[in-house]
Amino acid sequence: MTWIKKHLTSIVLFAVLLTGIGLIVYPSFADWWNSFHQSRAVASYAEEVAGMNAEEYEKALERAAAYNAEICKNGISWTLDEQQEKEYEAQLAVGQTGIMGYIEIPKINVMLPIYHGIEESVLQVAIGHIPGSSLPVGGKGSHCVISGHRGLPSAKLFTDIDKLLEGDLFTMTVMNQTLTYEVDQIRVVEPTDLSDLTIDKNEDYVTLVTCTPYGINTHRLLVRGHRIENINGDAQVIADALQIEPEYIAPFLAVPILLILVIGVFVFSGKRR
């Protein structure tokens, strides 16, 4: 007890130092950890798909196309009954992962698995396909809607999709096909405004949905893309100005503070000695 009283100041300063380091390191480490698991999920999905034969691909994609045709005919229903839910979950089901494909957005360096549904357990670690909207297999008269969170301390997800501009590209890979979409519309709407998520029988759309403004989340940001032909099977990556991410700036701001604390520990320890 006497030793603790004697070194109390040093102990407090050291605890503050560790807390500061933890606050700096946690967001980057958590994002890396989640990105690692997202990459493993995508790799696992790709392995499952690689184990399928041509007939299985064809049947799965035909079922999905028929499912989308019904949605185009009857319109999008945002509420599914129990039977519809079971039919939905059976679509594009590969293995037991619940993943129906994955999205890549080169401009913001994102590759994320797409799960069935938008339960919170999904949106905390990945992105989800909104039930009732078209499945992500392309085709005229389809409008697939994908939802993801922004600003989570543990995962990047859709945090940076506000950086996308009209003309930027993203791809959707489902089964053995990769579809390329070009951003053609960006809107901020009320949460109840679904007017931009309707189906155009002559178009093939995918809309990415997230909350906005950042950290306030009173509205929804809708980034819509229309299908274009793949160029050599790959999306074109358009060069952009160099942007410094906040996680790289934070250490430079915090390091001087931590150094002051370290110096303080030595000064107070020296005075006591």
- pLDDT of res. 15: 59
- Under DSSP, the state recorded for 209 is E
- pLDDT of res. 253: 43
Q: How far apart are CA 211 and CA 191, in angstroms?
A: 9
- pLDDT of res. 42: 84
Strands (E), 65-141: 99-105, 110-116, 127-129
Instruction: Report the pLDDT averaged over residues 198-209.
Output: 97
User: Confidence band (pLDDT; 50, 70, 90) for 271?
Assistant: low
Query: How many other C-beta atoms can be found within 10 angstroms of the C-beta atom of residue 73?
Result: 10
pTM over 0.75: no
Q: How far apart are CA 227 and CA 171, in angstroms?
A: 9
Query: How many other C-beta atoms can be found within 10 angstroms of the C-beta atom of residue 86?
Result: 10
Q: How far apart are CA 91 and CA 88, in angstroms?
A: 5
pLDDT tens for 235-245 read 333 333 333 34
* Cis peptide bond prior to 213, omega within 30° of 0: yes
Q: What backbone phi and psi angles, to 5 degrees, belong to 189?
A: -135, 170
Q: How far apart are CA 211 and CA 261, in angstroms?
A: 38
- Average the pLDDT over each of 32-41, 85-94, 143-152, 163-172 and give the range with the smallest value: 32-41
User: Confidence band (pLDDT; 50, 70, 90) for 84?
Assistant: very high
Name residue 25's amino acid: V
Of residues 215 and 63, more confidently modeled = 63
With the C-alpha atoms ordered 7, 8, 10, 14, is the resulting torsion angle positive or negative?
Answer: positive
- pLDDT of res. 1: 65
pLDDT tens for 117-170 read 999 999 988 999 999 999 999 999 999 999 999 977 767 899 999 999 999 999
Q: How far apart are CA 261 and CA 10, in angstroms?
A: 10
1 Cβ neighbours under 8 A, 6+ residues apart: none
Structure tokens given for 241 = 């100005």
pLDDT over 80 at 195, yes or no: yes
User: Confidence band (pLDDT; 50, 70, 90) for 233?
Assistant: very low
Q: Which fold has domain 2-272?
A: Sortase; Chain: A; (2.40.260)
Place of tokens 């089901």: 93
Q: How far apart are CA 82 and CA 84, in angstroms?
A: 5
196 Cβ neighbours under 8 A, 6+ residues apart: 185, 187, 189, 207, 222, 224
